[in-house]
Chains A and B, each alone.
Chain A
């Protein structure tokens, strides 16, 4: 009852004309960046961080939530009409979606994607409402040792499980943690990594880092790979669905939701793995398996539902524990810090109205997205005709303006350029960006928890495993780290069977480690050019689809921000 009344209060806040306007702005921006490959919600939220500082925190987060959900919607449009995924989470959608479009069923593909996203987003948000308070109740009882252990798990899981190469993941994490260390140590007052530079004493501003990594790094990367053969959008009218399409879509929507939400909530889940699992499941359960590879509507409905449900799932640990599991959530968490709001289990208690307004705005945003996307999908696709130099020039301009406006210090521009160049080099050498940004954002907090733990135990290291939950989490950490080795050994012992069983039953960990050999090479190339081409070839070869999309998913999963 308490939850319901809080939620209703949230709706009251979110439905004020001003907040509704911000939700609309967020939704429109989100769809736009979702449609455009290479620009994601994480970059957009990062660019808007400085602007949002002048808004009410509630309005700002309503806008961010709209961008986040909108990105998930918009990605499918590009996937279907262009065979280039607009977002990493819609890579799978492109497989069947584009086939459908080529077969003249683009309208149905767009409709099932939009309605499926709406259904999954709404159910996912409802699950968020139900589960988050439970997680909070549990989390409030956690002490520093357990909290430290959980954060270690989050960092390691994202680093080791997602992405093509563990070494690159850990390199990126190390960079992030190092950036997070810069500044004056809060306990002893010592200067760390400041190189005698007084301007570094306050540490590096998270906004500047996020803008540099996501916006400047990406813009430089695209500028280095600007020319590519233009594609053509498949012409389409207003999206609609026939009775048969509804009948074939509703079950995949629900199953996709069931896959998406838990994976989104897991530290290393993300939105890519559940879309893939949903695709494989639909392929096995479908009454029309022969249509897969030629444009089966189930193959669009399931994954699209899964990625939106995952988006909702991601918000559960973010709001309940202050633990981001993907790049957008990480940047949103940075926004909390900028507003002086302490993320973590006490968020609901201290900032109840804000959080509930945010959750209510998710329901509203979802409905707005359906209204904006269903009739207007072909119009959104026109954005793809924008010459990219204009686009990225604009992004760089906003990035610079934003970074300068945070502290009004020219020195921040130097940091912006240096870290932006770092972001470019990371993309060049295939280092995933997500571990870095998590390292920057979680690093100082994880350090705080570690300090607290050790202070409580008077410097005794055994204090780290003084709580049973912490011990349990460390066991999971060990499993995450050791699992790929075991899996490799097992595969060597029984090479033939794993090829069949691995991708389907393996779960997230086995999944990505199986993908590693294939994903290694495309990582170094441009994600946008290598992705669709590689997948196209593999699918057409009549290869087992299970293997083909996974390679690209791992590739896109880490490159796209």
Chain B
């Protein structure tokens, strides 16, 4: 049993993580946290730095959730990294954060969430910020 959560240090990401922790506690499953970057820019604020990462792991330990934090930098999109991890760890559930995006914004930037929703082979739980 495991749950994969895509985490970015934003309000949506935090909401997804909160919900994923609750789900993991309820089903007594392992939590796999994915925080990835394509690694092609020198600075990526969606990539969690060491200090913040420690805060996350400390919290997970306090909550007593079996966890695994992965930060792949392989030049893949975040969606692919989450889907990869879901397959590799046999996920029963993927938790992601959703943010509001205009249709034009989605057309130009694409949507990580949409790709995960469409391509995942297990149930996907989409969480909004402030919910």
Nearest chain B CB to A38 CB, angstrom units: 9
Q: Measured between alpha carbons, how far is A386 from B74 in the docked complex, in Å?
A: 17
Taking a contact as CB atoms under 8 Å apart, the answer to whether B43 and A384 are in contact is yes
Measured as residues with beta carbon below 8 angstroms from the partner, the interface class of chain B is 10 to 19
Contacts of B45 in A (CB 8 A): 232-233, 385
User: Does chain A have a CB within 8 A of B44?
Assistant: yes
Taking a contact as CB atoms under 8 Å apart, the answer to whether A229 and B47 are in contact is yes
Taking a contact as CB atoms under 8 Å apart, the answer to whether B75 and A230 are in contact is no
Q: Measured between alpha carbons, how far is A232 from B46 in the docked complex, in Å?
A: 9
Taking a contact as CB atoms under 8 Å apart, the answer to whether B43 and A231 are in contact is yes
Contacts of A384 in B (CB 8 A): 41-43
Q: Of B43, B47, B75, which one neighbours A227 at CB under 8 angstroms? A: B75
Q: List which A201-231 residues lie within 8 A (CB) of chain B.
A: 226-231
User: Does chain B have a CB within 8 A of A387?
Assistant: yes
Contacts of A233 in B (CB 8 A): 43, 45
Chain B 11-36 per-residue mask, 1 if CB under 8 angstroms from chain A, else 0: 00000000000000000000000000
Taking a contact as CB atoms under 8 Å apart, the answer to whether A385 and B44 are in contact is yes
Contacts of B43 in A (CB 8 A): 82, 230-233, 381, 384-385
User: Does chain B have a CB within 8 A of A517?
Assistant: no
Nearest chain B CB to A394 CB, angstrom units: 14
Q: List which B71-99 residues lie within 8 A (CB) of chain A.
A: 71, 73-75
Interface size on A, residues (CB 8 A): 19
Q: Of B40, B42, B71, which one neighbours A37 at CB under 8 angstroms? A: B42
Q: Measured between alpha carbons, how far is A227 from B45 in the docked complex, in Å?
A: 16
User: Does chain A have a CB within 8 A of B101?
Assistant: no
Minimal Cβ-Cβ distance residue in B for A230: B44
Taking a contact as CB atoms under 8 Å apart, the answer to whether A388 and B44 are in contact is no
Q: Measured between alpha carbons, how far is A67 from B49 in the docked complex, in Å?
A: 33
B40, B43, B49 pick with most chain A CB within 10 angstroms:
B43
Chain A 347-390 per-residue mask, 1 if CB under 8 angstroms from chain B, else 0: 00000000000000000000000000000000001001111110
Minimal Cβ-Cβ distance residue in B for A227: B39
Q: A230-B47, A232-B45 are in contact. Are A388 and B73 (CB under 8 A)?
A: no
Minimal Cβ-Cβ distance residue in A for B37: A230
Chain B 27-70 per-residue mask, 1 if CB under 8 angstroms from chain A, else 0: 00000000001111111110101000000000000000000000
Q: Measured between alpha carbons, how far is A268 from B6 in the docked complex, in Å?
A: 52
Q: Measured between alpha carbons, how far is A388 from B49 in the docked complex, in Å?
A: 20
Nearest chain B CB to A383 CB, angstrom units: 9
Minimal Cβ-Cβ distance residue in B for A235: B45
Taking a contact as CB atoms under 8 Å apart, the answer to whether A228 and B49 are in contact is no
Nearest chain A CB to B43 CB, angstrom units: 4
Nearest chain B CB to A219 CB, angstrom units: 14
Taking a contact as CB atoms under 8 Å apart, the answer to whether B75 and A226 are in contact is yes
Nearest chain B CB to A188 CB, angstrom units: 52
Minimal Cβ-Cβ distance residue in A for B71: A229
User: Does chain B have a CB within 8 A of A84?
Assistant: yes
Q: Measured between alpha carbons, how far is A230 from B39 in the docked complex, in Å?
A: 6
Q: Measured between alpha carbons, how far is A228 from B41 in the docked complex, in Å?
A: 8
Taking a contact as CB atoms under 8 Å apart, the answer to whether A227 and B40 are in contact is yes
Contacts of B74 in A (CB 8 A): 227
Taking a contact as CB atoms under 8 Å apart, the answer to whether A388 and B75 are in contact is no
Contacts of B73 in A (CB 8 A): 227-230
Minimal Cβ-Cβ distance residue in A for B52: A232
Q: A229-B73, A230-B73 are in contact. Are A388 and B42 (CB under 8 A)?
A: yes
Contacts of A228 in B (CB 8 A): 39, 42, 73
Nearest chain B CB to A404 CB, angstrom units: 28
Q: Measured between alpha carbons, how far is A386 from B75 in the docked complex, in Å?
A: 15
Q: Measured between alpha carbons, how far is A386 from B44 in the docked complex, in Å?
A: 9
B39, B71, B73, B74 pick with most chain A CB within 10 angstroms:
B39
Taking a contact as CB atoms under 8 Å apart, the answer to whether B39 and A229 are in contact is yes
Q: Measured between alpha carbons, how far is A364 from B38 in the docked complex, in Å?
A: 41
Contacts of A388 in B (CB 8 A): 40-42
Q: List which A45-96 residues lie within 8 A (CB) of chain B.
A: 82, 84
Taking a contact as CB atoms under 8 Å apart, the answer to whether A82 and B39 are in contact is no
B40, B49, B73, B74 pick with most chain A CB within 10 angstroms:
B40
Taking a contact as CB atoms under 8 Å apart, the answer to whether B47 and A387 are in contact is no
Nearest chain B CB to A396 CB, angstrom units: 15
Nearest chain A CB to B65 CB, angstrom units: 25
Taking a contact as CB atoms under 8 Å apart, the answer to whether A387 and B49 are in contact is no
Taking a contact as CB atoms under 8 Å apart, the answer to whether B40 and A389 are in contact is yes
Q: Measured between alpha carbons, how far is A228 from B47 in the docked complex, in Å?
A: 12
Nearest chain B CB to A165 CB, angstrom units: 28
Nearest chain B CB to A80 CB, angstrom units: 14
Other contacts beyond A228-B73, A230-B39, A230-B47: 13, CB < 8 A: A36-B42, A37-B42, A82-B43, A84-B42, A229-B73, A230-B37, A231-B42, A231-B49, A232-B44, A232-B49, A384-B41, A386-B41, A388-B41
Q: List 30 A-B pairs, Cβ < 8 Å.
A: A37-B42, A82-B42, A82-B43, A226-B39, A226-B75, A227-B39, A227-B73, A227-B74, A229-B39, A229-B71, A229-B73, A230-B39, A230-B41, A230-B42, A230-B43, A230-B44, A230-B73, A231-B42, A231-B43, A232-B43, A232-B49, A233-B43, A233-B45, A385-B41, A385-B42, A385-B43, A385-B44, A387-B40, A388-B41, A388-B42
Q: 8 closest Cβ contacts across the A-B interface? A: A230-B44, A384-B43, A227-B39, A230-B47, A384-B42, A387-B40, A387-B41, A230-B37
